[in-house]
């Protein structure tokens, strides 16, 4: 009977020690930075998170407030009139699931597209709306699995249509 008691105590101790690594995990973002594509205006946030445990699937969500300016471009390569512009604002999101490596790290990127032009249209002969500029504010990257978030610095594009006269004035 005494052997059974000792085995039970040792089993409980082994179980308790096995739980220690899970308690030692400390999910935290090491770095996160945003950039805007010079061709599409999309926001890409690249990041590294550590302290996740080995080979774990981690769900992420990227959120931001975006402001995009669309313009009409005529065949002469110009934005012919100030009234042929519109600015739209709204939230953008991206999600993804990534596996942590053997060291408990995830290094990855998420990309969110700018808001579309909505109901804005160009007069006949002036083409279709084209994205001229975009900015992103209140950028937040969240590890949904561990409920950990980090703020990313606001970012914006230069003029995406530098060869179009009047597009970014």
pLDDT above 70 (res 134): yes
Q: What is the sign, positive or negative, of the torsion defined by CA atoms of 113, 35, 138, 59?
A: positive
Ramachandran assignment for 70, one of left (phi > 0), alpha (psi -120 to 50 degrees), beta (any other): beta
**Which is higher by pLDDT, 114 or 74?**
114
**CATH number given to 26-156:** 2.60.40
Three-class SS state of 50: strand
Q: What pLDDT, on a 0 to 100 scale, did the predictor assign at position 128?
A: 83
Enter the tokens of residue 148: 């950990």
Q: Residue 43: beta bridge partners?
A: 36, 112
What pLDDT does 51 receive? 96
Lateral strand order in the sheet of 43-50: 28-36, 43-50, 106-112
The model's pTM: 0.82
Q: What are the residue ranges spanned by the domains of the chain?
A: 26-156
The two structure tokens encoding residue 146? 């561990």
Asked whether the predicted pLDDT for residue 13 surpasses 60, the reply is no
Top pLDDT among 25 and 157 is at 157
The percentage of the chain sitting over the pLDDT mark of 70, rounded to a whole number, equals 85
Which comes out higher in pLDDT, residue 82 or 39?
A: 39
- Between CA 156 and CA 169 the distance in angstroms is 16
Convert the pLDDT of each residue in 53-106 to its tens digit. Answer: 999 999 999 999 999 999 988 877 777 776 788 999 999 999 999 999 999 999
């Amino acid at each position: 009977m005494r052997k059974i008691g000792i085995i039970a105590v040792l089993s409980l101790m082994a179980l308790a020690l096995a739980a220690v690594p899970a308690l030692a995990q400390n999910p935290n973002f090491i770095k996160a930075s945003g950039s805007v594509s010079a061709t599409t205006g999309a926001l890409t946030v690249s990041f590294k998170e550590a302290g996740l445990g080995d080979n774990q699937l981690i769900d992420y969500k990227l959120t931001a407030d975006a402001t995009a300016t669309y313009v009409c471009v005529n065949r002469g390569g110009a934005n012919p009139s100030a009234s042929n512009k519109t600015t739209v604002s709204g939230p953008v999101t991206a999600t993804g699931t990534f596996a942590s490596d053997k060291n408990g790290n995830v290094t990855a990127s998420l990309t969110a597209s700018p808001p579309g032009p909505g109901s804005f249209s160009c007069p006949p002969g002036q083409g279709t709306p084209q994205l001229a500029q975009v900015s992103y504010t209140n950028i937040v990257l969240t590890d949904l699995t561990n409920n950990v978030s980090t703020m990313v610095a606001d970012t914006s594009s230069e003029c995406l249509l530098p060869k179009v006269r009047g597009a970014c004035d």
